[in-house]
Amino acid sequence: MECGCLRTVLNHAAYCFPQAILMFAITMPIALLGPLEDDPALGLDNSSINSILALGTLARAFGKFVNGVLVDKIGVRPFLCVALLLASAACVVFASSSGAGSLGVAVATLNYCCSGAWLTGCKVIERRFRREDSGLCFSVLATCSRLGSVLTRLCLGLVLLLLPWRQIAYGAAAVMLASWFLVVQVLLKGDTVREKDADGKPKLQVEPTTPRMAKSGTPKFLKTGQRTGKAEAAEVPTLCQVLSNRGLQLHCIIITGATCLMSLENMCPLLLKDLANLTNAEVSIHAAIFPAGVLLGVLTLPHLHARITSHTGKLLFELGLQSVALAAGGFLTLLVSLPAKTVRVEFLLSCLVCIALGLSFNYYIKPGMHTLEFGESCATASSMMDTVGYFATVAFQFSTSALFRNGGWFQELGG
């Protein structure tokens, strides 16, 4: 019994910890935006920082496109072995940066490495857990993603009171190196082994009403007790079949808008710094409100959604969440039209948490569950959705950077 519980914990940790630690790596530069802007040696302004963030998003979009097929091809353990080492090296480059160029390279590299975190999580869930447990697993995965972001902002905001930003970045490199050993040598040492039942046989994936992809590219329903994964190797959908799936195309449209709005998380420190009268440490701590709102959403909203029995009710629930996000975004646009340093921080934080809550379910939970319909190609399906979303975000960030130069925050958020 104890051995089985330990194995279950390790199976969950195998997809949770890599997601959390890579979120730490990608959030570290965001948490340090305040001192970066104030460092005279770097010579950065709001527009140049926005361009660096857009470059990072471009690298993340490219990584999503490439790494989905790569993870399906080589496996989770080899991918994370390289990604964690590369992220550690990028933290060193970030810490030793002398200008926007080296900062851009470091941020782009960190974004590329982080782009595979969710994909490896999908792969581990597909291989080690039953389909009926997938909703819980994706909720846990999203929770770890948000916890990694929230705790990074809070902890680094407190550490900024004691240490300069360069020392913090060097410390992040050491953390990534230690995480490499834990992930590669402990959690994923048996990555190629599918979880077994008590009798030693591979677990059956029982889901009689869940569509899977057949060779023709159309959904195929599994019979009760039918195996998935290795036993279905002959029916693994090709890339063309994945791309032609109408359900995937619909989710791509939804996630495009959600990803653009989620990019507001990266601008929270600068938004709070420019509009409210806060110190750099306070900015870093208060900026955690956005990922905290997303965390609250992924913890609570899936359970509320599961209690709704009708398809119409579920649709209205999802549309209601989107409406909350849009209304909060409109109110935030009105707030930024006020003079700098005069906006009450409570109003800003309320808008940010409402946007985060409204986006969390349609951004994390529902698209993730849909990707499991593609079996062994689940990482590829997830990467295609994210690629569309991130390339749209790249265009969004570069265009808003130009709008900011012309009209400030009002033009950027209005755009």
Is residue 14 in some structural domain?
yes
Q: Please tell me the distance from the alpha carbon of residue 213 to that of residue 76, in angstroms, as a whole number.
A: 22
Q: Is the pLDDT of residue 222 over 70?
A: no
Which domain does 11 fall in, by range? 2-193+203-414
Span 10-31, mean pLDDT?
A: 90
Of 242, 54, 85, 73, the C-alpha closest to 178 is 85
Q: DSSP 3-state helix, strand, coil percentages of the chain (rounded to 5)?
A: 80, 0, 20
User: What tokens appear for 206 in the block?
Assistant: 């029982």
- What is the tens place of the pLDDT at every residue in 178-188? 999 999 888 88
Is residue 53 in some structural domain?
yes
| CA dihedral sign, ordered 99, 101, 106, 108 | positive
Q: Is the pLDDT of residue 123 over 90?
A: no
- What is the tens place of the pLDDT at every residue in 168-206? 999 999 999 999 999 988 888 765 544 444 443 444 343
**Could you tell me the CATH number of the domain that includes residue 285?**
1.20.1250.20
Portion of the chain with pLDDT greater than 70, in percent: 84
Is residue 198 in some structural domain?
no
Domains contained in the chain, number: 1
Query: Reduced to 3 states, what is the DSSP secondary structure of residue 202?
Result: strand
Q: What does pLDDT average to over the chain?
A: 79
Give the pLDDT of residue 44.
81
User: C-alpha 92: how far from its chain's center?
Assistant: 23
Of 155, 151, 141, the C-alpha closest to 299 is 141
Give the pLDDT of residue 217.
47
- What is the tens place of the pLDDT at every residue in 294-339? 888 888 888 888 788 888 998 899 889 989 988 988 888 888 777 7
Q: Is the pLDDT of residue 409 over 90?
A: no
